[in-house]
């Protein structure tokens, strides 16, 4: 006769094994997915930190570019006039113009040419030339700030693209881990569903063998 006790023991062992296998698959998947999530959070934290560090330089580049545009007249005649007036009314222009004119007058006085036309012409040209020189100098300094802001913005952009790529890869890894875990659990529980058929097969097989034994 079939031995139901043996069949139940075997079935119980397979049931326990399948349950443990399903649990292990789910646990491994969640561990891998959790590691991927930790990587995502770290990537975002590093990008935020870099963005915060470069923010002052990025923000400095914008007004510098606007000031350059003003000197070039690209922001309208009023902005151009205001930019030039700021230099003309600045302390640097006042101090340099005063020092330069005094030096020119002293040389003219020492050479007896104080009343000559040369000194008057030189004085008339000095301030416009000085103003033009200071404008060019200021434009160059602003260019340095503009380039600094541009490089900083480019650095933030490159870091953002790299972070996006890394996060996408980690999300894909996270999805694959959970999908693999779900498939592992399904496979394990699928084995459980096959236990009744296996049990019946064992019983009928045992019965068939017993019948064949009686035949002999």
More confident residue, 118 or 188: 118
Q: What is the pLDDT of residue 60?
A: 86
Q: What is the pLDDT of residue 110?
A: 72
Q: Which domain holds residue 121?
A: 4-215
Q: How many domains does the chain have?
A: 1
Q: What is the pLDDT of residue 53?
A: 80
More confident residue, 175 or 55: 55
How would you class 21 by CB atoms within 10 Å of its CB: exposed for 0-12, middle for 13-18, buried for 19 or more? Answer: middle
Average pLDDT over residues 126-143: 93
């Amino acid at each position: 006769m079939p031995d139901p006790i043996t069949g139940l023991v075997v079935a119980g062992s397979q049931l326990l094994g399948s349950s443990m296998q399903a649990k292990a698959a789910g646990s491994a998947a969640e561990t891998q997915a959790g590691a991927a999530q930790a990587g995502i959070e770290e990537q975002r934290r590093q990008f935020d930190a870099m963005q915060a560090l470069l923010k002052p330089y990025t923000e400095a580049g914008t007004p510098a570019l606007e000031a350059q545009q003003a000197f070039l007249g690209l922001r309208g005649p009023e902005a151009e006039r205001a930019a030039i007036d700021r230099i003309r009314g600045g302390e640097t222009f006042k101090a340099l113009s005063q020092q330069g004119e005094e030096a020119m007058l002293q040389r003219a006085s020492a050479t007896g040419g104080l009343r000559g036309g040369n000194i008057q012409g030189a004085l008339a040209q000095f301030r416009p030339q000085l103003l033009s020189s200071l404008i060019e100098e200021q434009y160059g300094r602003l260019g340095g700030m503009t380039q600094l802001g541009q490089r900083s913005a480019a650095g933030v952009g490159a870091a953002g693209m790299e972070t996006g790529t890394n996060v996408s890869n980690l999300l894909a890894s996270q999805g694959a881990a959970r999908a693999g875990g779900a498939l592992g659990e399904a496979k394990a529980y699928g084995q459980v569903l096959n236990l009744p058929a296996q049990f019946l097969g064992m019983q009928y097989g045992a019965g068939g063998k017993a019948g064949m034994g009686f035949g002999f």
